[in-house]
Structure 1
């Protein structure tokens, strides 16, 4: 690989070599690389003016925009870590993430601000409104003057690039820390995926997601063009793809399913596509097969964790007979399977998936115990990331996922932890106990369903409990349904048997 270079420096190199090349398209607005780099400088200079120093943190919670992208790159340019936050978070979690990240400035927009109006944010955290709305100081007024440049900062590869938050099973968000070195290991390897000056990448997933950054970073590193989509809809995606001659896109399975279901899908000219990507949720083999048959260009599925470790890639267009798998370990990534005692299992047997590579998180911010629980040390002292997933390798080294050891639900590409929802539902005065299970959904992949037991002498209304819970959880955590049961099935040691709940419900649906 080439010598270490920061992402913002690669953007600057393109701005100097090809100043008129399109960098970012946001609706009817667009910036060329020279203009984009100048905007990054103005944001970076404003950060320094406001006293933000290297290794400090800024947070961004907003819809994708040119200003969002420039602010992200500006933070990197002056050695500042970026904590992108989800507008779909609860107000409680949002406030906890801002506090945990120790953000000096919170960049937001009216969309996010409306969702977080009840969040208890420390008033000392400066707010800047990226859209110029009422959520803080207007971005245009906050910016340093035209032509301003920041004081140069030499970035240490071990400094924090970003903090990606993932909700924990205790309800406390976990900040996954990625260094500049980790990200460079990703964006420094642009081939054979075609990220170069001719790449036009359509981003329809939000910038707070690692899923999106996996495409955002290499596109800019290679001098390509980003097309931003604030909110996904299937027809809008195809309109943009055709209009801008898009070559690359990252989509989660539910997005692919909605796109492929459009009656007029075949009327769109998608011949410009070089590579499409998918990650974050189970990707059905029949859906992959449909995409390969009707959508030009390659299809790559990634399997891995935001925490890093080992990742797999399935180049579906090259291996149409392996669509039931998530592919093979990527170059320089090692993936093994272990049993309950931490022993490596032989080929063909089932085990928990662990992985290691140069692409591994530094840890969870301020949570050493959670970090220790996720990392596994083998007998030779090597660090591995535990996925909590169970799988099996076939004779050719392709990995098939069997099940998830954790109770995590993946709905529409988002990770949902049942215990977070259970904690809220249990607050209902008529609830004795409740278990939340991920049920199959054609639209979302999985959706959370609650099984609740009423307190003695009380009556539980499922619609009321559903409304009560959904009013208090994040948008992506909302229950799809509630079932009232007499008791929850448990093991001999008292553990709720969620598999039985899931199987019983599937059997009832099949019989109806």
Structure 2
């Protein structure tokens, strides 16, 4: 997917071309507003003009903290079209955390909806707040006779700064270039997005998960339908009413959809492609989706940082549902041991990857950026994923666990995903997570947390321990109402570990 500067086409240029080709096609809608491509071009131009009059210039950072809306999309596209850099911030973060992110990215202005404005009202911020809807009015147009000059954009220019989910600690700003975003559009086109597709979005716009689907949809002339918040029945109803063809969902959303009592009563025959990323995707869930939901199913495995990407076309490889697929074209992925020595197929180690689709680095963290790189003997610079896995003889990658989540008990490596898979086979277990806690006898020992109102802790613990090796046996099992998750579905295992520490204190 390498691009020369001469052949590079930016996402903003693609969007302007789509507005010329499909002026009357619906581009984006939410519960309150809908815009054609012509109207979207007008509204983004008006938003960019307002940002410029607020003092934003090319290269400045515009932060956005809000729920999904048409105004959010207008602000995002208007900012990147004028050459600014967008920092989309999670509205679920604390005020203190948001203030740190705003300071870290050196935002010139922070666009907020009512909820974020209220939360940040009493904080000392290094940048002024502005109303998202004042800047990005869906009915916005430039004053008569006024033209907005869109920026000349180079492939190396910064597109956005995505802050990591923080599941491993303080979020880091991941700097992505216009070239990287154009590569995402090309990947989307290769994986099934097309002019006229209709994509339903129910994950937040601050997440890279959403953007790798939104940008191809709009850049290629499709329609983006935004949900403010995910709900299984609301999703299914919208999908049927709007004849949705595409969706990007995280595993927990698929799980809730497939468990919905009304799932099979909805007509989902319009679907062409469904995508999944961001968290482990159980093979039995993939199998159920393939059986009950029309259209293809594609899983992406990679990092917001880029470097390596695996793709599983689940409908084409039903015998490989336990894997995350094979490396994408132009991607080199390898397995290394603790000493950084490359391992052969079938051996378990850390996954590293390299491709031209790579971040520019962690914002203001050159040392952290360098620490994330594995230097291969052949001179290649590979991104360390922090994930443990292995390649099979066909080149498909099986994920084992996050490196930090591997439990070392009595000198043996225990992979929580193995135990979680066993737990989920119990008929009364709806969801499961396993973490390691300190043990004076073994160093660490595994403890399970399960969701299952009908389950008996003693019975499930015995069930699991009868089906795993002696060194893998669970020391304890706890029933919870739900597992703590980020907004894009990642289980927050640090919170589970913390609850164990609090109980033992």
The TM tier, using the shorter chain, reads 0.7 to 0.9
Measure how far apart 1:93 and its partner are: 1.1
Measure how far apart 1:479 and its partner are: 4.5
Measure how far apart 1:483 and its partner are: 3.7
Report whether the alignment pairs 1:97 with 2:96.
Answer: no
Residue in structure 2 matching 1:349, options 342, 347, 350: 347
Matches of 1:48 and 1:360, distance apart in 2 = 30
- SS of the counterpart of 1:332? coil
The residue number in structure 2 matching 1:165 is 163
Unaligned runs of 5+ residues in structure 2 are 407-415, 418-432, 436-443, 453-483
The residue number in structure 1 matching 2:131 is 129
Residue in structure 2 matching 1:282, options 280, 285, 295: 280
- Alignment RMSD: 3.2
The residue number in structure 2 matching 1:446 is none
- Write out per-residue CA displacement over residues 79-112 of structure 1, whole angstroms, 9 at most, x where no aligned residue: 1110000011121110010011111111110122
- SS of the counterpart of 2:499? strand
The residue number in structure 1 matching 2:499 is 482
Matches of 1:147 and 1:260, distance apart in 2 = 53
Measure how far apart 1:147 and its partner are: 6.6
- Write out per-residue CA displacement over residues 295-333 of structure 1, whole angstroms, 9 at most, x where no aligned residue: 000001111111111110111101111111111111111
The residue number in structure 1 matching 2:19 is 15
Matches of 1:198 and 1:80, distance apart in 2 = 28
**1:397–1:149 distance in 2 versus 1, CA, 3 Å:** same
The residue number in structure 1 matching 2:423 is none
Output the TM-score relative to the length of structure 2. 0.79
How does 1:114-125 map onto structure 2 within 5 Å?
Answer: 114-122=118-126, 125=127
Residue in structure 1 matching 2:42, options 38, 44, 48: 38
The residue number in structure 1 matching 2:200 is 202
Measure how far apart 1:439 and its partner are: 5.1
Q: Contact 1:87–1:115 (CA<8 Å) still a contact in 2?
A: no
Q: Contact 1:161–1:183 (CA<8 Å) still a contact in 2?
A: yes
Number of residue-to-residue matches in the alignment: 434
Q: Contact 2:347–2:391 (CA<8 Å) still a contact in 1?
A: yes
- SS of the counterpart of 1:482? helix
Q: Contact 1:128–1:142 (CA<8 Å) still a contact in 2?
A: no
The residue number in structure 2 matching 1:268 is 266
Q: Contact 1:302–1:314 (CA<8 Å) still a contact in 2?
A: yes
The residue number in structure 2 matching 1:385 is 383
How does 1:422-437 map onto structure 2 within 5 Å?
Answer: none
Residue in structure 2 matching 1:70, options 56, 67, 74: 74
Measure how far apart 1:437 and its partner are: 9.1
Measure how far apart 1:381 and its partner are: 2.2
Q: Contact 2:43–2:136 (CA<8 Å) still a contact in 1?
A: no
Q: Contact 2:188–2:212 (CA<8 Å) still a contact in 1?
A: no
Unaligned runs of 5+ residues in structure 1 are 411-415, 419-434, 444-468, 489-512
Report whether the alignment pairs 1:187 with 2:204.
Answer: no
Matches of 1:145 and 1:177, distance apart in 2 = 34
**1:25–1:169 distance in 2 versus 1, CA, 3 Å:** closer
Matches of 1:298 and 1:170, distance apart in 2 = 32
Report whether the alignment pairs 1:259 with 2:276.
Answer: no
Q: Contact 1:190–1:222 (CA<8 Å) still a contact in 2?
A: no
- SS of the counterpart of 1:384? strand
The residue number in structure 2 matching 1:365 is 363
Matches of 1:364 and 1:307, distance apart in 2 = 9
Matches of 2:168 and 2:346, distance apart in 1 = 35
Measure how far apart 1:341 and its partner are: 1.5
Measure how far apart 1:343 and its partner are: 1.3
